[in-house]
């Protein structure tokens, strides 16, 4: 019986020509036993796949594997090591033969097919090291530790390397496979010439810098997940690179300012460190611990983001601004510059894997500046290049960190509150204003830090009054509450008192909402079932919100 039927006609993706199936002779590898060995290597823990969810995909490929066609009809690649004579005899050999192994004919020609590129690539971990000879390189570098590649070739490359390594050397080629995602456009679409959404890295590097692109790709990376890339993200990280450069320039200029000074050692330098010095040092040690932990967990993007936040926010926005104030005092100038140099050095070492070029340049200039300064001892053991410098290790906590950090965070809270109110009331940044502060138990702390608060919050230091308590609140003043501290700013003529009352009522409502939520939480099963430390933490929060609410109520009277 003959009858017409419809079928789908396959066409070439590029040219559109009809693709016709043809029966042809090809070379195959019987791979079932190799696949079994590859499965066992992952199942018994010799090889770990990160993220773990990709193990299921790996297992599915190898458990349903078919014999592998390794021959390709291409002009490039490794030629199939098979030769034929005129009689059709076949010679398979490692070395190029001069005659047929069967009949001795010298009229021989090599098979024109080449090996599948993944067959050649599967040999990469050991074939580049002199295998099959037992070379020193092979003994030293094989097996390696980590294999990093995209999840889309977990079967095509990763599985082939594992199977080939086990088959030809008896040893798995690596112990960990880290799989990254694909880079897509800002809308999550695959980049394609057809869509016209391809971002040319060479153009971006020329326009915005190699470090900016590298940092963007690394910070946007999470294990096994795709990332959406836009030029705007690279532009933002170009600004970060500029921030690194400007922070470095500030520190180097500060070092040059003390070049002619003599380092005093008549008293322990640790006694000279300010609250801000201690705070930034503690924050730096936490950063080192966090980055190391993120690296161990393959969370490179989070590590990069934490370094970004530390350098931009903690170091540049806060500590550098405090340092400018501290350096006005000759008694604190030297230890301030020392802290600047130490923190910048360590931060550049942490940042170097993400932005190697700018960090190498800034670190080199920092090195040169220190060698010509009274702080030359800081750089005594530094190498000539950052790329070979030691990776930072955190120091053990000494016990003072929590108190110093809490104290400086109180200063930050006060400064932020005053800045926010000034912005809300459109008070000019250049206008210095007075302040009355009821500090309670923090009176001595705030008096010691009054110059820092004044400098960062735009206050007139001669008009700052810091008292343990107030008999009555100042008239016609805007009120702020930060923790247990009350702040009054006499903004007469600059503040709408009615809107100020509305603002305080809104803050009171928010505080009472938190109080209600925490009271409900602590009156339920949470207090009995949660860890005692966590319960106490929530109780402390409740007490703080109640204190804040009481102070706001007093201000509204």
Structure tokens at 259: 């070049």
How much is the pLDDT for 268?
40
| Statement: residue 362 has pLDDT above 80 | yes
Task: Give the rounded distance of the alpha carbon of 7 from its chain centre.
Answer: 52
Domain boundary at 180, 196, 224, which? 180
Q: What is the pLDDT of residues 241-275, one digit of tens each?
A: 999 999 999 999 999 998 877 655 433 444 578 99
188 lies in some domain: no
Rounded to whole angstroms, how far apart are CA atoms 402 and 235?
37
How much is the pLDDT for 477?
84
8 lies in some domain: no
438 lies in some domain: no
271 secondary structure, DSSP code: G
Task: Give the rounded distance of the alpha carbon of 312 from its chain centre.
Answer: 14
Identify the CA nearest to 162 among candidates 152, 170, 175, 172: 172
Residues 214 and 298 in one domain: yes
What is the full DSSP assignment across 273-297? --HHHHHHHHHHHHHHHHHHHHHHT
Neighbours of 133 (CB within 10 A): 8
| Statement: residue 385 has pLDDT above 90 | yes
Residues 45 and 155 in one domain: yes
How much is the pLDDT for 111?
94
Answer whether 370's CB lies under 8 Å from 379's CB: yes
What is the full DSSP assignment across 410-428? HHHHHHHHHHHHHHHTT--
* Farthest-apart Cα atoms in the chain, separation: 115
230 lies in some domain: yes
Residues 119 and 161 in one domain: yes
Write the CATH number for 515.
Answer: 1.10.287
110 secondary structure, DSSP code: E
18-27, 107-116, 275-284: which range is least confident on average?
Answer: 18-27
Residues 295 and 349 in one domain: yes
Looking at every residue in the chain, the average pLDDT score rounds to: 91
Across the range 413-434, mean pLDDT stands at 89
Range of the structural domain that residue 533 is part of? 497-557
Neighbours of 131 (CB within 10 A): 16
Q: What is the pLDDT of residues 51-87, one digit of tens each?
A: 999 999 999 999 999 999 999 999 999 999 999 999 9
Domain boundary at 364, 388, 412, which? 388
Confidence of residue 497 (pLDDT cuts 50, 70, 90): low
Residues 126 and 229 in one domain: no
362 lies in some domain: yes
Residues 165 and 223 in one domain: no
Answer whether 418's CB lies under 8 Å from 410's CB: no
User: Considering its fold, how many domains does the chain have in total?
Assistant: 3
68 lies in some domain: yes
How much is the pLDDT for 270?
43
Residues 215 and 157 in one domain: no
Domain boundary at 388, 413, 435, which? 388
Residues 364 and 292 in one domain: yes
Structure tokens at 452: 């820092």
Residue with tokens 């823990």: 45
Rounded to whole angstroms, how far apart are CA atoms 403 and 60?
54
222 lies in some domain: yes
Residues 161 and 251 in one domain: no
462 lies in some domain: no
Q: What is the pLDDT of residues 314-333, one digit of tens each?
A: 999 999 999 999 999 888 89
Residues 42 and 102 in one domain: yes
Q: pTM here?
A: 0.80
Residues 224 and 372 in one domain: yes
Write the CATH number for 234.
Answer: 1.10.730.10
Answer whether 527's CB lies under 8 Å from 457's CB: no
Q: What is the pLDDT of residues 291-314, one digit of tens each?
A: 999 999 999 999 999 999 999 999
| Statement: residue 162 has pLDDT above 80 | yes
Residues 163 and 262 in one domain: no
7-11, 203-207, 552-556: which range is least confident on average?
Answer: 552-556
């Amino acid at each position: 019986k003959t009858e017409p039927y419809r079928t789908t006609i396959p066409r070439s993706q590029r040219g559109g020509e009809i693709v016709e199936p043809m029966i042809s002779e090809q070379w195959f590898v019987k791979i079932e036993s190799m696949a079994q060995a590859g499965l066992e290597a992952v199942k018994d823990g010799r090889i770990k796949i990160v993220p773990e969810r990709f193990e299921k995909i790996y297992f599915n490929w190898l458990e349903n594997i078919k014999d592998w066609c390794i021959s390709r009809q291409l002009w490039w690649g490794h030629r199939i090591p098979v030769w034929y004579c005129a009689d059709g005899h076949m010679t398979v050999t490692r070395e190029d033969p001069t005659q047929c192994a069967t009949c001795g004919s010298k009229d021989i020609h090599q098979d024109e097919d080449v090996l599948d590129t993944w067959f050649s690539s599967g040999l990469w971990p050991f074939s580049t090291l002199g295998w099959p000879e037992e070379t020193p390189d092979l003994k030293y570098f094989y097996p390696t530790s980590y294999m990093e590649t995209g999840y889309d070739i977990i079967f095509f490359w990763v599985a082939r390397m594992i199977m080939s390594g086990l088959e030809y050397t008896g040893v798995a080629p690596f112990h960990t496979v880290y799989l990254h995602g694909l880079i897509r456009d800002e809308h999550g679409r695959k980049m394609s010439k057809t869509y016209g959404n391809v971002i040319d890295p060479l153009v971006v590097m020329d326009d915005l810098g190699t470090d900016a692109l590298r940092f963007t790709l690394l910070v946007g990376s999470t294990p096994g997940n795709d990332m959406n890339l836009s030029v705007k993200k690279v532009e933002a990280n170009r600004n970060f690179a500029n921030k690194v450069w400007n922070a470095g320039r500030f520190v180097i200029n500060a070092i040059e300012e003390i070049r002619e000074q003599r380092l005093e050692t008549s008293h322990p330098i640790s006694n000279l460190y300010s609250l801000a010095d201690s705070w930034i040092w503690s924050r730096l040690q936490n950063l080192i611990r966090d980055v190391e932990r993120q690296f161990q967990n393959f969370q490179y993007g989070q590590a990069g983001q934490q370094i970004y936040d530390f350098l931009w926010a903690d170091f540049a926005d806060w500590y550098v601004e405090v340092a400018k104030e501290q350096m006005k005092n000759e008694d604190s100038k030297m230890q301030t510059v020392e802290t600047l140099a130490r923190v910048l050095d360590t931060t550049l070492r942490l940042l170097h894997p993400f932005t190697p070029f700018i960090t190498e340049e800034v670190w080199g200039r920092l090195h040169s500046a220190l060698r010509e300064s009274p702080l030359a001892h800081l750089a005594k053991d530094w190498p000539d290049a950052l790329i070979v410098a030691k990776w930072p290790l955190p120091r053990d906590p000494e016990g003072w960190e929590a108190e110093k950090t809490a104290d400086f965070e109180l200063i930050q809270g006060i400064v932020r509150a005053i800045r926010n109110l000034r912005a809300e009331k459109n008070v000019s940044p250049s206008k210095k204003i007075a302040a009355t502060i009821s500090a309670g138990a923090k009176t001595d702390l705030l008096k010691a830090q009054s110059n820092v608060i004044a400098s960062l919050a735009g206050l007139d230091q001669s008009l700052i009054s810091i008292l343990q308590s107030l008999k009555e609140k100042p008239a016609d003043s805007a009120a702020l509450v930060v923790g247990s501290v009350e702040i009054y700013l006499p903004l007469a003529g600059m503040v709408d008192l009615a809107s100020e009352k509305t603002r305080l009522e809104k803050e009171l409502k928010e505080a009472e909402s938190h109080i209600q939520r925490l009271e409900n939480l602590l009156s339920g099963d949470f207090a009995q079932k949660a860890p005692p430390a966590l319960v106490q933490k929530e109780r402390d929060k409740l007490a703080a919100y109640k204190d804040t609410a009481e102070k706001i109520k007093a201000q509204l009277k």
